[in-house]
Structure 1
Amino acid sequence: MTQLVSVDIGGTHARFAIATLADDGTITLGEPETLHTEDHASFQTAWEDFRERKGGSLPKAVSMAIAGPVGGDVIRFTNNPWIIRPALVQEKLGVDAFTIVNDFEAVAHAVARASEDQFIHLTGPETPLPATGRLSVLGPGTGLGVAHLYREPDGRYRVSATEGGHIDFAPLDSIEDAILARLRKRLTRVSVERVVSGPAIVDIYQTLAAMESKPVTDVDDITIWTKGMTGEDSLAAAAVDRFCLSLGSVAGDMALAHGAKGVAIAGGLGYRLRDTLVGSGFAERFRAKGRFAELMAGIPVKLIVHPQPGLFGAAAAYASEHGK
């Protein structure tokens, strides 16, 4: 049995948990602790905060899932100001072994190891995700994460991190044309992350308000998501519906680009949208690929409902790297 600290660091939150790797490959997570990145000057101070919460001592191994590219001597986060220097991890954190992976690389590890009851069906054939071949893994949060998973016939698998969330946004109708036009007023280039991520709901909402000649108020994303998902505000609800459509389009694009036989949606926002996505236009947009509509209809799309796929996946990535 091996214990380690599993960490999932996004733009807004840093999540920590003690993970246990059993000899049979089973991964168990302890109770997660969620810290706000803006409340800590660095990852080290957040680590020290978590250590104090756990009584002053931690296991001598850590696996970090990081929202951003992880190569190089200095790791910089895409959506928060922290940096990590891998060469100093053992010294600064007091650990003997560590793993560092991209956050959606970790989520892909979670998809590879999660049991079937950890997924709900969104569209396509109501079958489990394929046991062999390529899978696309993506999900919205503070940004848009994308990874690629390849399952070998012998049960092994390989994961590749990507920056697919930064490909160009392609509108499909007049409303998305208007969203793009709004974003182009302040951005040189509009990526899909600018439309399919948690903060993006503000631009969607304000575009819809402008189309209806309503005052474009300075409203925050949390308010829009809350009122939209409860139906308290009809314009916010329309923005959430529009978000689901765009997510479906992007998921379909990733499946085409990867040659995927299955797709898994993940991410903190994806989990919160689990009930909304099922009844939205997500599935229709996923299939809306012209001459490839029939192909898309044959791809199973699932939503992973494990409450902490980043933490679970970080532990799985450690197990994979260190032969546990």
Structure 2
Amino acid sequence: MSTEAQIVAVDVGGTHARFAIASIADDGTITLGEPTTLHTSDHASFQTAWEDFRERQGGVLPDNLAMAVAAQIQPDLIRFTNNPWIIRPPLISEKLGVVQQVVINDFAAVAHAAARAPADQFLHLAGPEEPLPETGTISVLGPGTGLGVAYFNRLSAGHYHVQATEGGHGDFAPLDQIEDDILARLRQRHTRVSNERVVSGPAIVDIYQALAAMEGRAMVEQSDVEIWTAGVSGEDSLAAAAVDRFCLALGSVAGDIALVQGASGVVIAGGLGYRIRETLLASGFETRFCAKGRFASLMASLPVKLITHPQPGLLGAAAAFAQSHLDKAHA
């Protein structure tokens, strides 16, 4: 008889906590209910956000939890990179009333989603216009509040292994004078400038201000949302130049990560990447991705995709739960 496992899937980032009820069928098919998005700044802790979601669901939730978090996974205490919450894994069952749980890095969850998503949920960005390879390593990265990086190894018979990383915290490597100026500006505030200081949503402010300083323009305080909006629409030429510069830097970083991880394909993920997909396609992203000297031909042979699933973190958290608790039982 066919049964479905019901779980609460959660994706906690720096700005938002997304919740959904997920159903996992015997054949591994995952169905997500309508997501609920809460602002992390509106809640004192994850537990109060959980209680808010539970109340919205009529006061009752499934007793299985799959949680993706924008943090390094530690057994006793998880601190988030870009929000003040903390989570103590040993207390989750007691505090939330769950029986089975999986807690993984948020970009490990995105990698799970990329490993399971069908071909029609990817948009082609660069390289040969073909599906992701059926075997080998696929790099997964995406700019948001920070820069998430993971990868998965595709094995035989549809099996795969996901590995979370902290690749977003590698050193930023400028390639021209403009990026030298951006780096110099960031170094005034940070002893060490990582990739996510340039390739993330909030980083557009520093890129914009660096370009304004180059042109001798008066500094006008604008939020990252305002700059992204004006840049993508083209209504502000300097903001548009900042967005173009961001796309170049993303291409460079994506290429570096693919080289480091020995990738045979690359997936760009995250809401920001999806929102600027048309800009990415028209930018120098692909040129920068391939600009790796003696390895330029290798880089040009790698398919680069953008995942278009609307909630890859939630899908991936549910997939990780299935892999951990259900796949072996159904094998």
Aligned to 1:153, which of 148, 156, 159? 156
Q: Which sits farther off after the overlay, 265-274 or 188-197?
A: 265-274
Q: 3-state SS of the aligned residue for 2:309? A: coil
Secondary structure of the equivalent of 1:38? helix
TM alignment of 1:269-280, pairs within 5 A? 269-280=272-283
Alignment of 1:1-324 (within 5 A): 1-324=4-327
Q: Deviations over 1:126-183 (max 9, x none)?
A: 1100010111000000000000110002221000000000000000111100000000
SS of the residue aligned with 1:216?
Answer: coil
Query: Per-residue deviation at 1:20?
Result: 0.5
Question: Secondary structure in 2 aligned to 1:186?
Answer: coil
Gapped regions of structure 1 (runs ≥ 5): none
**Distance in 1 between the 2:133 and 2:74 partners?**
30
Cα distance in structure 2, aligned partners of 1:49 and 1:222: 27
Contact 1:107 1:137 in 2 (8 A): yes
1:271 touches 1:307 (CA, 8 Å); kept in 2? no
Contact 1:14–1:34 (CA<8 Å) still a contact in 2? yes
Q: Quick check: 1:286–1:296 contact (8 Å CA) kept in 2?
A: yes
Query: Displacement of 1:217 after TM fit?
Result: 1.9
RMSD across aligned positions (CA): 0.7
Query: What's the CA shift for 1:71?
Result: 1.7
TM-score under structure 2 normalisation?
0.97
C-alpha offsets along residues 254-293 of structure 1, whole Å, 9 cap, x if unaligned? 0000010000000121121222111111111000111110
Give the SS at the match of 1:21.
Answer: strand
Aligned residue for 1:196, secondary structure, equals coil
Distance in 2 (alpha carbons) for counterparts of 1:261 and 1:41: 42
1:149 maps to a residue whose letter is F
CA distance in 2, matches of 1:54, 1:8: 17
Runs of 4+ in 1 over 3 A off after TM superposition: none
- In the aligned structure 2, how far is the partner of 1:41 from the partner of 1:275? 37
Percent sequence identity over aligned pairs: 71
CA distance in 2, matches of 1:274, 1:212: 28
Which amino acid letter does the alignment assign opposite residue 120 of structure 1?
L
Amino acid at match of 1:247: L
SS at match of 1:64: strand
Contiguous gaps of at least 5 residues in structure 2? none
Q: Distance in 2 between matches of 1:191 and 1:48?
A: 36
- Distance in 1, matches of 2:19 and 2:133, equals 31
Residue 218 of structure 1 and its aligned partner are, at CA, apart by 1.8
How many Å separate the matches in 2 of 1:300 and 1:67?
26
Q: Is the 8 A contact 1:8 1:15 kept in 2?
A: yes
Q: Deviations over 1:83-122 (max 9, x none)?
A: 0000010111111111000000000000000000000100
